[in-house]
Amino acid sequence: MRINYQSASHIPVLDSLRGLAVLLVILFHCFPHPVTTLGWVGVDLFFVLSGFLITGILIDSKGKKGYYRNFIARRTLRIFPLYFFALLICLVLLPLFFHSLLSPDYAYYLQHQGWFWLYGQNWLFSITGFPKDHTLVHFWSLAVEEQFYVFWPLVVAVCSRRKLIWVCLFLIVFCLFFRFYLGERLGLIDPFRYMATAARMDALLIGALIAIFIRIRRELLERFTLPVALISVAAIAAGILYSFSLHFIRLSSIYLFIDIAAGCLLILLLSNYSDFFALRWLKHRSFKWLGKYSYGLYVYHYIIFNLIRYNLEDQVNAISGNKWLTMLAIGGISVALSIIISVVSFKYLEMPFLKLKKYF
């Protein structure tokens, strides 16, 4: 295997991986069915890819003037406009002007909205458990990334690349300790194993490790990726068989193996193996297109789905007379609206801010 990677260049196949990730999440959320149950691993793909790209950017810009300021500014321009626009719609405008569209359980978000404005909702869910209304529950992953990237640039700044490897390994071990022991001792409840930053940043750290090794010991990745991938897939299969479940809470014991497998997929897509039939389909332009709008699709899709389901499910079910047809109809409408809104949002909300990144 030979890895083809230039750190300063745009790599279209990574857009495809982002597109695959958001597709998996959308299928999981909008088309609930045993076939789509494992779609939650799309979030792990996002985390690993994010850790790889962001750590690479930090390593390559280390020592340059305005290192931390520029990173935070560029990150803010990419993430904040859409995130806070969505909160403005969901936590201010909808309750004020369209309250009848919201379920009674939506009050949970209004009562705890401070956590969302401060990017702390993943810890909120780890304290209170899942809210009954799921409209904004997927925002947990946005909080994990934002919290991680507040301190991670500082860690990269003070560590050599080799020391950074040891820091990543130490933090991964800490994640396991937190996930299986410390979190519960601190009084957190599920879904903390899935949502707490201290329990899930190992996915970001796997991506970070790949970013480091691809710069200093690429030959190790070329040599060991395939066997590690096979071991990880075997461990995932064993974990699923042992748990007899595909539910994300019950599979917390194999999160790390899922993240490692996602990292291996990332490496394979950066190598000459990406031309093999088993991976070539990921290069299709439809995945790249989804990747371009993946942030908006991720933010909007579950909001739209839950609003439509609450307001139209009974009417659609009365017409179709079949719960699966109802699910397909509501999911299809939700996805179509999500795509339209995401494209419009990207052009008129996100792009004006993204153009400002050139100043940092």
Residue 113 lies inside a defined structural domain of this protein: yes
Contacts of 174 (CB under 8 A, 6+ apart): 198
- In the block, tokens 């994300």 appear at 248
Q: Which residues on neighbouring strands pair with residue 3, listed in sequence order?
A: 271
What is the number of domains present in the chain?
1
Residue 360 lies inside a defined structural domain of this protein: no
The radius of gyration computed from the CA coordinates of the chain, to the nearest angstrom, equals 20
| Domain range for 151 | 35-284
Q: Which two tokens stand for residue 171?
A: 């933090």
Q: Which two tokens stand for residue 127?
A: 């304290």
pLDDT of 277 reads 65
pLDDT of 79 reads 97
Q: How far apart are CA 24 and CA 287, in angstroms?
A: 11
Residue 18 lies inside a defined structural domain of this protein: no
Using alpha carbons only, give the angle 304, 135, 91 rounded to the nearest 5 degrees.
95
Letter string b/e over residues 245-282, b meaning 16 or more CB atoms within 10 A of that residue's CB = ebebebbbbbbbbbbbbbbbbbbbbbbebbeeeebeeb
Residue 357 lies inside a defined structural domain of this protein: no
DSSP 126-148: HHH---S--TTGGGHHHHHHHHH
* Structural contact between residues 30 and 331, judged by C-beta atoms closer than 8 angstroms: yes
Q: How far apart are CA 242 and CA 197, in angstroms?
A: 26
Residue 89 lies inside a defined structural domain of this protein: yes
Residue 25 lies inside a defined structural domain of this protein: no
Angstrom CA distances, 323 to 247, 307, 317, 337, stand at 21, 18, 6, 21
Q: Which two tokens stand for residue 49?
A: 């890819």
Residue 339 lies inside a defined structural domain of this protein: no
Low-confidence spans in the chain with pLDDT less than 50: none
pLDDT of 242 reads 87
Residue 338 lies inside a defined structural domain of this protein: no
Q: How far apart are CA 89 and CA 276, in angstroms?
A: 44
pLDDT of 283 reads 85
Q: How far apart are CA 31 and CA 54, in angstroms?
A: 31
Angstrom CA distances, 358 to 68, 352, 354, stand at 15, 12, 8
Q: How far apart are CA 242 and CA 296, in angstroms?
A: 36
Q: How far apart are CA 43 and CA 22, in angstroms?
A: 8
Q: How far apart are CA 233 and CA 262, in angstroms?
A: 10
pLDDT of 294 reads 98
What are the pLDDT digits (tens) for 56-95?
999 999 989 999 999 999 999 999 999 999 999 999 999 9
pLDDT of 193 reads 96
